[in-house]
């Protein structure tokens, strides 16, 4: 078949060039270094997580017996486990943090932001496998393919080939097949090695499914650059012109457009300052019950309702410790306030992210970057899910402590301590349960469809452009 004959010839010519092998060697070396660095970082982070999680729980369980509410104020830490895929793309984990300090009356943000200890250069130049696959691999495609047509023009062999009955469309498709072969020759072994490494970390089917979907999206992504490279080379008068146009496309897609959209998103949906956020939080907290201030108007109304419900005229006559009950009532009010505040902030960031995604039709790199983080569980959604589960656990833990105070002590007895020496060992423990990909299709299906659209449009544009090119024979 003529297409495969063209593809075979083009593949041989591409692989014959020293420039291609030099670029391949450089990219392979960078890939090996990035995997080694990322694996070392992943193992270190996993070990730190396991040690920190174990120590935090031991410290909580082995603390000296004390008033349960005092223990709630003392607090404890919980940690987000590292995803097996995070060695590919660390995403926002370095910015958003991986640990949360839990305490009574307050919802804290995730901490341990490694990025805070780095300078601007360190933040940009994180050599991860995702950086190689998303940013450098398309550059590799451009550098090996920008001359697939211009070389024929410069050698004056294009007319000769077309005079033998070959159509320009056949040539374009054959050359794109050749680029596909070279790309897959490099990509498939790397992908299989990555799969083996991930399987050694975690045999969870959800992780493997995420990795498979990531591979499919990368193939769609590379198709965009392959078809664009062939098309631009076909319409360019020289290799230099082709290279300049393609480099402009890569720079715009990978660097300029994402930065511009990020700036626009922050200007349209500006986040509140820390002072504004805290002022609004304080205002909302003061509108409800404060468990440590039984004399406020809200607390007095609550006290009256409790006395009426129990048919007594003083809190000393209640069949339980009123302090524990009002502490929990205050906790529930504070929980609602913090949840509303965090939801407003989350909605704002999602508006920014939504604008980022909506405008991604002008940059396939944005789409691929978003998909990579989401599939590797290092994006905003994964962080939000972790903090939400952490807050639910904090609510359950503080409720358990307050109810012990309420049910097992007398009003005013702040020296009360549980009689059970294993009391803290029996409190609820935290286990993070990541959302399965199949349960969260909305975060990846639409970006994948947009990426497929990009790939189909670029292939169609290549074929249509090839059909319009006329070469005198």
- Residue range 440-462, pLDDT digits in tens: 888 889 889 999 999 999 999 99
129 found inside a domain = yes
Cβ burial 437-469 (10 Å sphere, 16+ → b, else e): beeeeebbeebbebbeebbeebbeebbebbeee
323 found inside a domain = yes
409 found inside a domain = yes
Both tokens assigned to 242: 């082709």
99 found inside a domain = yes
Tokens 């990035």 belong to which residue? 34
- For 394, phi and psi rounded to 5 degrees? -60, -45
Report DSSP letters for 136-166, one per residue: IHHHHHHHHHTTTTHHHHHHT-HHHHHHTT-
DSSP count for the chain of H helices, then E strands: 19, 3
Q: Is 316 helix (H, G, I), strand (E, B) or coil?
A: helix
Q: Which of 201, 206, 402 is nearest to 291 (CA)?
A: 402
pLDDT band at 116 (very low <50, low <70, confident <90, very high): very low
Domain count across the chain: 1
90 found inside a domain = yes
User: Which of 173-187, 227-241, 315-329 bottoms out in mean pLDDT, i.e. has the lowest?
Assistant: 315-329
**Residue 118 pLDDT more than 60?**
no
Torsional sign, CA 417, 423, 424, 427: negative
Q: Which of 180, 159, 95, 87 is nearest to 130 (CA)?
A: 87
473 found inside a domain = no
How far from the centroid of its chain's Cα atoms is residue 405's Cα? 41
pLDDT for the residue numbered 112? 54
**Residue 130 pLDDT more than 80?**
yes
pLDDT band at 471 (very low <50, low <70, confident <90, very high): low
**Residue 310 pLDDT more than 70?**
yes
pLDDT for the residue numbered 280? 85
pLDDT band at 201 (very low <50, low <70, confident <90, very high): confident
- What is the per-residue pLDDT across 370-382, written as a single tens digit (0 to 9) for each? 999 999 999 888 8
- What is the per-residue pLDDT across 64-104, written as a single tens digit (0 to 9) for each? 888 888 888 888 999 888 888 988 998 888 777 788 888 88
pLDDT for the residue numbered 438? 87
State the chain's maximal CA–CA distance in angstroms: 106
121 found inside a domain = yes
| Cα–Cα dist 381/352, whole Å | 13
Is the CB of residue 254 less than 8 Å from the CB of residue 221? no
Tokens 């660095």 belong to which residue? 37
Both tokens assigned to 51: 């040690």
Instruction: State what percent of residues in the chain have pLDDT above 90.
Output: 32
Both tokens assigned to 16: 């014959």
pLDDT for the residue numbered 462? 94
Q: Which domain holds residue 364?
A: 2-468
């Amino acid at each position: 078949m003529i297409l495969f004959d063209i593809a075979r010839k083009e593949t041989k010519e591409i692989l014959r060039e020293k420039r291609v092998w030099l670029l391949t060697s450089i990219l392979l070396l960078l890939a090996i270094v990035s995997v080694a660095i990322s694996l070392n970082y992943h193992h270190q982070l996993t070990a730190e997580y396991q040690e920190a999680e174990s120590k935090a729980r031991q410290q909580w369980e082995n603390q000296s017996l004390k008033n349960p509410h005092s223990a709630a104020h003392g607090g404890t830490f919980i940690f987000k486990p590292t995803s097996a895929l995070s060695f590919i793309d660390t995403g926002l984990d370095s910015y958003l943090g991986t640990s949360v300090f839990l305490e009574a009356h307050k919802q804290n943000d995730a901490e341990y932001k490694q990025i805070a200890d780095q300078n601007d250069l360190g933040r940009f130049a994180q050599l991860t496998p995702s950086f190689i696959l998303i940013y450098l691999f398309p550059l590799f495609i451009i550098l090996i393919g920008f001359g697939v047509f211009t070389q024929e023009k410069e050698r004056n062999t294009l007319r000769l080939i077309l005079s033998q009955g070959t159509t320009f469309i056949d040539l374009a498709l054959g050359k794109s097949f050749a680029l596909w072969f070279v790309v897959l020759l490099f990509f498939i072994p790397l992908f299989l090695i990555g799969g083996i490494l991930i399987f050694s970390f975690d045999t969870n089917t959800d992780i493997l499914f995420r990795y498979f979907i990531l591979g499919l999206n990368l193939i769609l992504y590379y198709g965009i650059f392959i078809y664009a490279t062939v098309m631009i080379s076909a319409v360019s008068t020289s290799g230099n012109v082709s290279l300049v146009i393609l480099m402009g496309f890569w720079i715009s897609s990978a660097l300029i457009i994402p930065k511009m959209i990020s700036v626009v998103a922050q200007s349209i949906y500006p986040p509140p300052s820390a002072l504004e956020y805290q002022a609004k939080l304080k205002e909302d907290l003061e509108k409800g019950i404060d468990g440590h201030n039984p004399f406020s108007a809200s607390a007095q109304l609550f006290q009256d309702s409790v006395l009426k419900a129990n048919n007594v005229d003083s809190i000393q006559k209640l069949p339980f410790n009123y302090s524990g009950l009002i502490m929990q009532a205050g906790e529930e009010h504070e929980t609602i306030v913090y949840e509303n505040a965090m939801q407003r902030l989350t909605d704002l960031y999602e508006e920014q992210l939504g604008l980022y995604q909506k405008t991604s039709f002008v940059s396939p790199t944005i789409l691929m970057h978003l998909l990579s983080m989401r599939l590797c569980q290092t994006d905003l959604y994964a962080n939000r899910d972790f903090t939400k589960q952490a807050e639910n656990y904090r609510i359950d833990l503080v409720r358990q402590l307050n109810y012990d105070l309420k049910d097992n002590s007398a009003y005013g007895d702040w020296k009360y301590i549980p009689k059970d020496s294993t009391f803290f060992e029996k409190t609820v423990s935290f286990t993070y349960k990541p959302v399965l990909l199949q349960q969260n299709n909305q975060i990846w299906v639409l970006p994948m469809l947009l990426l497929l659209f990009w790939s189909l449009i670029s292939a169609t544009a290549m074929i249509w452009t090839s059909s319009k090119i006329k070469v005198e024979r």
